[in-house]
Amino acid sequence: MELLRLVIRNIFRHKLRALLTILGVAIAMLAFGILRTLIDAWYVGVEASAANRLVTRNKISLIYSLPIAYKNKILQVNGVTGIGYGTWYGGIYKDKKNFFAQFAISGTDYLDLSPEFVLTPEERAAFDRERNAAVCGRKTAERFGWKLGDIIPLQGTIYPGQIDLVLRGIYRGARKNVDETAFFFRFDYLNEIAKKVLPARTDRPGWYLVQIRDPDRAAEISQEIDALFENSLAETLTETEKAFQMGFVAMTGAMVAAIKVISVVVIGIILLVLANTMAMTARERSSEYAVLKTLGFRPWFLFLLVSGESVAIAMLGGILGAVLTIPGGKVFQGQLESFLPVFEVSGATLVTILAVSLLVGMAAALPPVIRVTRTGIAEGLRYIG
């Protein structure tokens, strides 16, 4: 108890220095938390992938489409229990800055393969009944103020002309890591338009979403599907949904690596700042530590006294940084929602901030602790700070 009291008193002997150091640690931990959340957001599609879903696309590239006739052939593969298809639309809603993901899908069969998108039975029935019906995520509806029954005009980029869709459903994610910004409408409606304006893209979806019975047979089933279309004009590449999502992450691998490096640099900088603060503190109290040695206090007591102060400062800064990370994440979420649909500070990130703060505090205490324990009593008493 006396040791704890001494540590607390030592922290605030130089109030301005202590407060500035704590604030510096807090800002560094806030930056670290936001960067870690940014990395998590990059991998959210990978984490949300289902083990029992495969994606079949053109072997050359995702930008090349596949014949719609592939659907029935894939469905006949042993172990396949469901299939749907979709394609990227890439339309513009009023202005180019209003970006959100838009997909033309085969219908409710595609949604049945994605139970993470929660719709009411009435919304599903309306989507299945009306050819120009659309459903969107809760966040996109809130962003533009849409409500059920609204007409959503989209100006095509890949497909020329404008399409007018009726919003018949607003889905919610079954889990926190589900993308609630996507926009879906029916492929058959787009196909009708393509026959008039872009015949080459008629009856050609961009990919197939394949549900399998046994996730352990994913590799085997993938090979069987690709073997069906080997040496055809549109060969396929089938992979797990997780691998498919990882392909998009790999495209920005350098950026993700840079963010990871920056997060480590932030920790290194605050470690140097805290280590410098503790070195100054230990140097100023050299005579005090010498007196404690004279009175018979052992080195372990001095070790706990110095390291306790360092860890306490780091933890106070870390706790403040963790608290600030929560509203900070909400600010960034509003700015990045179009590109990173799920940007939420996780409990694991907050725990990591506290753990890193503890390690920084312990590491910053090592140099002054070594100096204090090795300095002789006479040398310490001669110091004039």
pLDDT, position 12: 78
Domain co-membership, 32 together with 164: no
Domain total in the chain? 2
pLDDT at 188: 92
> Within this chain, do residues 80 and 130 fall inside the same structural domain, yes or no?
yes
Residue 216 lies in a domain: yes
Is 283 within the bounds of a domain?
yes
Residue 140 included in any domain: yes
**Tens-digit pLDDT profile for residues 181-231:** 899 999 999 998 888 877 777 889 999 999 999 999 999 999 999 999 999
Alpha-carbon gap, residue 383 to 97, rounded angstroms: 65
Q: Which of 92-101, 154-163, 341-350, 370-379 shows the lowest mean pLDDT across its residues?
A: 370-379
Range(s) of the domain holding residue 137: 60-234
Residues 315, 169 within the same domain: no
| Residue 29 forms part of a structural domain | yes
Q: Mark whether 86 and 16 lie in a shared domain.
A: no
Interval 101-111 mean pLDDT: 93
Q: Distance (Å, rounded) from C-alpha 297 to C-alpha 305? A: 11
Query: Does 36 share its domain with 66?
Result: no
Across 89-155, the runs of DSSP E, i.e. the strands, are: 102-105, 117-118, 133-137, 151-155
Look at residue 259 in the predicted model and tell me its pLDDT: 81
Query: Are 109 and 223 in a shared domain?
Result: yes
pLDDT tens track for 279-318: 887 777 767 667 767 766 777 777 788 888 888 899 999 9
Residue 7 has pLDDT above 60, yes or no: yes
Angle subtended at Cα 210 by Cα 205 and Cα 211, rounded to the nearest 5 degrees: 155
Length of the chain: 385
Read off the pLDDT of each residue in 125-144 and give the average, rounded to a whole number: 94
Q: What are the tens digits of pLDDT across the range 321-351? A: 999 998 888 877 766 666 666 777 888 899 9
Question: 234, 263, 282: which is the final residue of a domain?
Answer: 234
Residues 6+ positions from 135 with CB-CB distance below 8 Å: 111, 117, 119, 123, 127, 167, 168, 169, 170, 171, 183, 184, 185
Task: Tell me: pLDDT of 92 over 70.
Answer: yes
220 and 163 share one domain? yes
Q: Does any domain span residue 196?
A: yes
Q: Which residue has the tokens 């052939």?
A: 73
